[in-house]
Amino acid sequence: MTSPVVVLIGPPGAGKSHIGRALAEYLGVGFRDTDTDIERSAGCRIAQILEREGEAHFRVRERRAVHRALAGHSGVLALGGGAVLEEATQRRLGRHRVVHLAVAPQQLAARIGSAATRPLLADDPEGRLRTLLAVRNPIYRRLATWTVPAGGRSHLVVARIATLLAELPAAHGPAPAAARPPGPPARSGAAAHRGPGDPLGREVGGGLGRAAELKTGDQLRLHQPGHQQRPPAGHPLQQVGPAAQHL
């Protein structure tokens, strides 16, 4: 049994696939995208599965692909934007380091363009994204170890995530060597940023959805909000720095 270095979640167009691939390269680990796994096993594109079988059947395929990848991939794992809707997946994500990539709806829509490959957003991508975000943002935030603003340049988003990974040891073994930046530890501003610069205009990265505490060995115990909302005193994740403005 293995475990991903990090799992990327967030809405369509947030950059889970794009940033995930770049992050994996930066860290020197493998990259896996559950949408690609689904397409391989179905022998056709996601858009075709959605059109032929409907969303409910697609979610069943997706759940299987996600659970397989969570248990069998040791690098960076990107999920499809709707994978977090499944309760069984939500439970499993509680055992992993999860990064929620947060991007404002207008920017998501601009990245997605005509949405030809995303039938769930057809006709009115920005309107559909807003509806979808209203339902999913609370879920993304609740499941996230960190919410990272991802509207900025790719290499800055990658560097931010790598810094966060270096600060919090993984549930199964240490962070990859490349995730430990040289020199003094960077501050975790982007992950703990709250304020007018935030692309959703509200609680993007306003603290941890879950705080982490090291238990026996390298087992990582994650607390749900309500039990402990902040990292231990002095932990670097408590620090708020200016870096968020650059993402």
Ligand X SMILES: O=C(O)C1=C[C@@H](OP(=O)(O)O)[C@@H](O)[C@H](O)C1
Name which of Mg ion, ligand X, ligand ADP, none residue 120 binds, using a CB cut-off of 5 to 8 Å depending on partner kind: ligand X
Q: Which of 233, 153, 138 is nearest to 190 (CA)?
A: 153
Q: How far is the CB of 100 from Mg ion (least distance, A)?
A: 14
Binding mask 17-56 for Mg ion (x = CB under 5 A): x---------------------------------------
Q: Which helix (H) or strand (E) segment is 223 a member of?
A: strand 220-223
Residue 16 among known ligand-binding residues: yes
**Binding test (CB under 6 A) with ligand ADP, winner from 3, 7, 17, 96:** 17
Q: How far is the CB of 35 from ligand X (least distance, A)?
A: 5
Please give the Cα distance from 123 to 19 (Å, whole number): 27
Q: How far is the CB of 120 from ligand X (least distance, A)?
A: 5
- Residue type (1 letter), 183: G
Strand partners, 221: 213
Q: Which of 33, 16, 147, 132 is nearest to 85 (CA)?
A: 132
Residues contacting 133, CB < 8 A, separation 6+: 11, 105, 200
In the complex with ligand ADP, the residue whose CB is nearer, 17 or 137, is: 17
- Which range touches Mg ion (CB under 5 A), out of 16-24, 56-64, 152-160, 216-224? 16-24
Hey, is 204 helix, strand or coil?
coil
In the complex with ligand ADP, the residue whose CB is nearer, 99 or 222, is: 99
- Which range touches ligand X (CB under 6 A), out of 76-84, 203-211, 212-220, 226-234? 76-84
Name which of Mg ion, ligand X, ligand ADP, none residue 100 binds, using a CB cut-off of 5 to 8 Å depending on partner kind: none
Q: Interface with ligand X includes 120 (CB under 6 A)?
A: yes
- Which range touches ligand ADP (CB under 6 A), out of 11-19, 68-76, 122-130, 137-145? 11-19
The sign of the torsion formed by the CA atoms of 157, 159, 163, 166 equals positive
Q: DSSP string spanning 81-145?
A: TTGGGSHHHHHHHTTS-EEEEE--HHHHHHHHTT-TT-GGG-S-HHHHHHHHHHHHHHHHHHH-S
Give me the residues that bind ligand ADP (CB under 6 A), please: 10, 12-19, 81, 111, 150, 153-154, 157
Give me the residues that bind ligand X (CB under 6 A), please: 12, 16-17, 35, 46, 80-82, 118, 120
